[in-house]
Amino acid sequence: MIQLFHVAKTYPGADEYALADVNLNVDKGEFVFLTGPSGAGKTTLLRLLFAAERPSNGQILIGNRNIARLSRRQIPALRRSIGVVFQDFKLIDTRSVFENVALTLDVRGEPRRATRSRVEAVLKRVGLLHKKHAAPRHLSGGEQQRIAIARALVAEPSIVLADEPTGNLDPERSLDIMNMLNDVNARGTTVLVATHDPTLIERFRKRVIALEAGRVVRGGG
């Protein structure tokens, strides 16, 4: 489902690799942890997958699409097949919780009525239905994180990329969220979770890909 061949990424102006010669293979329906110390390149790797960054080198295949060669016009379709939980949430402050989650369906042109019921269902799942009219900035970090997760899941994408999805949550909430991602995975969705939380990795006993200084040191497959 996701394949990287000799992928390197150097940010413009940076003199060190963020990623260097990364090879990995994630099968359809797999659940994979991406781990490594801060600055190892986890976020960079995820950003390459939804074409927020272009690789400096190498090839990236998702399904049968070559991401490195995608034209600007093809990027929206790729992004609609992927649900992303951003490390910094990326919620729109001037929009309500409901509207933030609905955005994923709005950009697809989903009918309003279907959007409403789907958004409410997913908000219920993350336990925030009662806050649907609130502005994100009035919510706690953990609540904002759950909105970000709801937005990533609402369109039922075939791939979910989650960047530190439990970073701001207490242990109980973390477990909830991980169980949600596990459920989604059980229904066939490929899930990639970047985290440096060892207890999470320990508890869920999934495949682990470890990055260090931009290189895969373990579990590339």
Partner 1 sequence: MRSGRFVASVLDRALRNMWEQRRLHLLALSVMALSLSVVGAFAMVASNLARVRAALGAERVITAFIGAGVDAAGQQRLRGEAAALPGVARVELLAVEEARDRFREALGPHGALLDGLSGDVIPAALVVVAQAEAAPDQMAALAKRLAALVGVEEVAYAAEELERLTTLIRAVELIALAVGALIALVTVIVVSNTIRLTVLARQEEIAIMKLVGATDSFVRLPFVVEGLLGGLAAGAIAIAIVWSLNAAVLGAIGAVAAGALDPIFAVRLSALHASLLVGGGGLLGLVGGLVSVGRFLKVM
Smallest distance, ligand ATP to C-beta of residue 120, A: 32
Partner interacting with residue 64 (select from Mg ion, partner 1, ligand ATP, none; CB below 5-8 Å by kind) = none
* Residue 210 bridge partners (DSSP): 35, 218
Could you tell me whether strands 2-9 and 215-218 are parallel, antiparallel, or unpaired per DSSP bridges?
A: unpaired
Using rule CB under 5 A, residue 43 touches Mg ion: yes
Q: What is residue 51's DSSP assignment?
A: T
Separation of first and last alpha carbons in the chain? 13
- Per-residue contact flags (x/-) with ligand ATP for residues 82 to 111, judged by CB under 6 A: -----x------------------------
| Torsional sign, CA 60, 194, 100, 113 | positive
Smallest distance, ligand ATP to C-beta of residue 95, A: 25
Using rule CB under 5 A, residue 44 touches Mg ion: no
Nearest to 66, CA basis, from 5, 145, 156, 127: 5
Instruction: Choose between 38 and 64: whose C-beta lies nearer to ligand ATP.
Output: 38
- From the list 84, 149, 192, 200, which residue makes contact with partner 1 (rule: CB under 8 A)? 84
Partner interacting with residue 123 (select from ligand ATP, Mg ion, partner 1, none; CB below 5-8 Å by kind) = none
CA atoms in the 13 A half-sphere facing the CB of 219: 14
Stretch touching partner 1 by CB under 8 A, among 38-46, 75-83, 189-197, 209-217? 75-83
Q: Please state whether 193 falls in left (phi above 0), alpha (psi between -120 and 50) or beta.
A: beta
Interface residues with Mg ion (CB under 5 A) are 42-43, 87
